[in-house]
Structure 1
Amino acid sequence: MEQVEVVVVGAGPVGLALGVALTQQGHQVVVLDRLAAGANTSRAAVVHARTLEMLADLGISERLVELGIKAKSFSVRSGRRELMPVEFGDLPTPYPFTLMVPQDVTERVLLERLTELGGEVRRPYVVTGVVQDADGATVTLADGQTIRASYVVAADGMHSVVRDQAGLGFEGEDLELSFALADVKAEGLPLEEVVLFFSKEGILVSAPLPDGTIRLVAQIDPAPEQPDVAFAQRLVDTRGPGRGEVVVREVVWGSRFRIHERVAPRYRAGRILLAGDAAHTHSPAGGQGMNLGLRDAVALAGALSTALRKGDEGPLDEYAVRAVEEARRVVALAHRLTVIGTAKPALRSIRNVALRVLALNPRIRRGLALQLAGLR
């Protein structure tokens, strides 16, 4: 039986970041993933300032910045009229912007860094069971192999097998909202700014990506499984800056999704710990999901290192408490933003007026910028 210090289940951005952080600190880590290859779709596309600050010590942040778009502002608009500008350029951080970079690029950078440090991801390895005792945990794989570790981290997503076997729970609800996502080649939308358009027909998010595509996200029911050019064109005509202002040339990739708001009430059960989507999932409003998970990874790596080197598990318990508290704050923020964005038609004009009034107060605008950046 193979013996290591930590087994990380899941090689998404959270599992990779945890692997990097632990390997950099000299620990024996095995990162397992059930997929034969990493995902090549963009999914999450935002890395905020606080996350970049935490990734800097891992040798990750500058590489990501080179590959992304520095969006220094976020704008809420109704057609061409701006309701609320949110500026990141003067925030107290070395990274005064929202970095637009696709998740597959983030994963590639993390994997390259892990490889540089001598680590690897083992694929495809399906975890079927985890049994723990006072001294560690034994991970069983579908092919019958077993790996013994001092600690096991579940970074295997919303449907985590490890979390469920550990009995850690996953509390919350599913929202009755359907969303469409389409990465498009288009003319007429901002290429260096994220814009949230409010309209009578509903919301539309426009977010630039570094390959020249623009991510469109819209709440619509039913959302098509594979958005096409005609669908994307209707979205920008009816919800964007104005009919005829934008021309969609191509849909590069698209999908649909629903919102799940859930947080595990406990992040630790003995030798098993949670991080990322295995611990929390919520609305993509504000681009918080992957950021919260990456911050989990860096914080947990420090706590695990202390436990492994000194036998002091106090930081693990502190992580479990603080991470749950932060997750609940982020879920609440994303929920509020979702409620505002998906207001019922009768309330939309009132919402827009309220936002214009609130935008007159610079403290409110700055407070929102700090919250989105993860600095408050």
Structure 2
Amino acid sequence: MSTDVLVVGAGPTGLATALTLARRGVGVTLLDKLAEPPTTSRAAVVHAYTLEVLDRIGAAAPLIAQAVRTPRFTVRDRDRVLLTVPFHELPSRYPYALLVSQAVTEAVLAGQLADLGVQVRRQCRLTGLTDTGDGVLAQVDGEPLRARFVVGADGLHSTVRQLAGIGFTGPNDEESFVLADVRVRSVLPRDEAALFLARPGPLIWAPLPDGVVRLVAAVADAPPAPDRAYLQALLDERGPARRPDRVTEVLWGSRFRVHHRIADTFRAGSVLLAGDAGHVHSPAGGQGMNLGICDAVALGTALADVFDGGPDTLLDDYNTRQRPMAEDVMSFAAGLTRLATVSPARRPARDVLLRLIGAVPPVRRRIALRLSGLSHRETEAELSR
């Protein structure tokens, strides 16, 4: 068997890579080790810049139709709003953040791929990679598959990255998070996502379609299946105080751990990395899946340009552009986490600083550009000169 591009991993990054290639007429084979796509997932926000990127491959409109648009993002300390980030002022066709489960994002991308005749090959494991000089010979469940290029979109424990011998560096410590989709009685606006800053750690409160609220919180030791009492205690500790939220139903809950690591390179010959296979970091700011999708479309476009006769150096340009972008996002997410966990003695100064920042329109706009990903336009413009 042979294919132009073998994509390993059918999460949002792998699906978006395959869709970008398929729309350009490049032969693509998409593998995933899971028998079925997950119905629960941790990413819940698609930012404005990511929507612009998805629009390039025809996937923005069907996703928007199934999501909640939020024109603002607030940073809070219990009942106090410290900072309001005005997404509705963004210089974009999509002046909002889109709140939607990652499972829905994956379903939209998979549906678009199916319309182009590309199906995910499931329960398939990559077991070997050999550089042949003009491509790669992959072993998939013991069977050979030749590809001109291989894309690793297979997450934190990427088999592609390991088989290619690409280093994955960063501190050994990790952060523990609990996440859950719940129904709550709450006075918080249902068109607004909020980051609660609390000494024990940050709490993200994000409304999803159908009255569901996604909760994500950094905790010391997350339980494998957080129940109603546990999640209520989290809200009581970190959420609104005067009129507390009340959890009425837990739809599902889980835990995950996050390392802060980045691949030494996103390209090793005919092997390329995208998404969590290349970079992992704190979920603060909702940047992870968004950066992975941006990786995917940038890489898919570069690969398609090469197949159309462009120089192989376009793939080096992908590494040159996306890896610094990943470093920048990692630094930004880590900064948000540090902001949430300052000592009690420093919290009053932090709160005053955030209020002052929120009162300066140019600074507030700059934060909106950063969170939305639109600041990446400047990076693209500089590199294209």
- Which deviations, in whole Å up to 9, do the C-alpha atoms of 1:336-370 show, x marking residues without a partner? 11111122333223211221122221111111100
Deviation at 1:283, TM superposition (A): 0.6
With over 3 angstroms needed to count, the CA separation of the structure-2 counterparts of 1:175 and 1:207, relative to structure 1, is: farther
Secondary structure at 2:190's aligned position in 1? coil
Deviation at 1:201, TM superposition (A): 4.9
Deviation at 1:321, TM superposition (A): 1.2
Secondary structure at 1:295's aligned position in 2? helix
- Which deviations, in whole Å up to 9, do the C-alpha atoms of 1:264-304 show, x marking residues without a partner? 12111111111111011111011000010101111111110
Deviation at 1:213, TM superposition (A): 1.1
- Which deviations, in whole Å up to 9, do the C-alpha atoms of 1:290-331 show, x marking residues without a partner? 010101111111110122221521211100111111111111
8 Å CA contact 2:154, 2:276 repeated in 1: yes
Counterparts of 2:125 and 2:323, CA distance in 1: 27
Counterparts of 1:9 and 1:204, CA distance in 2: 33
| TM alignment of 1:197-346, pairs within 5 A | 197-199=196-198, 201-242=200-241, 244-310=243-309, 312-346=311-345
Counterparts of 2:193 and 2:86, CA distance in 1: 11
Partner residue, 1:350: 349
Q: Does 1:161 align with 2:148?
A: no
Deviation at 1:63, TM superposition (A): 0.6
Q: Does 1:182 align with 2:183?
A: no
| TM alignment of 1:72-83, pairs within 5 A | 72-83=71-82
Structure 1, unaligned runs of 5 or more: none
- Which deviations, in whole Å up to 9, do the C-alpha atoms of 1:127-183 show, x marking residues without a partner? 0011112211011012x2111011011111110111111111111124453322121
With over 3 angstroms needed to count, the CA separation of the structure-2 counterparts of 1:39 and 1:77, relative to structure 1, is: same
Greater Cα offset, 342-351 or 118-127? 342-351
Partner residue, 1:124: 123
Secondary structure at 1:129's aligned position in 2? strand
With over 3 angstroms needed to count, the CA separation of the structure-2 counterparts of 1:177 and 1:14, relative to structure 1, is: closer
Partner residue, 1:172: 170
Counterparts of 2:198 and 2:31, CA distance in 1: 44
With over 3 angstroms needed to count, the CA separation of the structure-2 counterparts of 1:361 and 1:163, relative to structure 1, is: same
Counterparts of 1:159 and 1:42, CA distance in 2: 17
8 Å CA contact 2:151, 2:272 repeated in 1: yes
Deviation at 1:57, TM superposition (A): 2.2
The one-letter code matched in structure 2 to 1:375 is L
The one-letter code matched in structure 1 to 2:238 is R
Counterparts of 1:34 and 1:326, CA distance in 2: 29
Secondary structure at 1:173's aligned position in 2? coil
8 Å CA contact 1:168, 1:264 repeated in 2: yes
Greater Cα offset, 343-352 or 328-337? 343-352
Greater Cα offset, 253-262 or 67-76? 253-262
The one-letter code matched in structure 2 to 1:256 is R
Secondary structure at 2:88's aligned position in 1? coil
Counterparts of 1:201 and 1:125, CA distance in 2: 41
Secondary structure at 1:178's aligned position in 2? strand
TM-score by length of 1: 0.96
Counterparts of 2:232 and 2:343, CA distance in 1: 23
8 Å CA contact 1:306, 1:313 repeated in 2: no
Partner residue, 2:56: 57
Counterparts of 2:117 and 2:373, CA distance in 1: 31
**Backbone CA RMSD of aligned residues:** 1.4
- 1:145 pairs with one of 143, 146, 149: 143
8 Å CA contact 1:237, 1:244 repeated in 2: no
Secondary structure at 1:211's aligned position in 2? helix
Partner residue, 1:370: 369
- Which deviations, in whole Å up to 9, do the C-alpha atoms of 1:67-125 show, x marking residues without a partner? 11101100111222211110100111000000001100000000000000111110110
The one-letter code matched in structure 2 to 1:20 is L
Counterparts of 2:295 and 2:220, CA distance in 1: 33
Structure 2, unaligned runs of 5 or more: 376-385
How many residues align? The count is 374
Counterparts of 1:54 and 1:81, CA distance in 2: 35
Q: Does 1:112 align with 2:119?
A: no
Counterparts of 1:175 and 1:357, CA distance in 2: 33
Deviation at 1:20, TM superposition (A): 0.7
Secondary structure at 1:89's aligned position in 2? helix
- Which deviations, in whole Å up to 9, do the C-alpha atoms of 1:32-61 show, x marking residues without a partner? 101111111031011111111011121110
8 Å CA contact 1:236, 1:243 repeated in 2: no
Deviation at 1:244, TM superposition (A): 4.8
Counterparts of 1:312 and 1:63, CA distance in 2: 34
Greater Cα offset, 97-106 or 208-217? 208-217
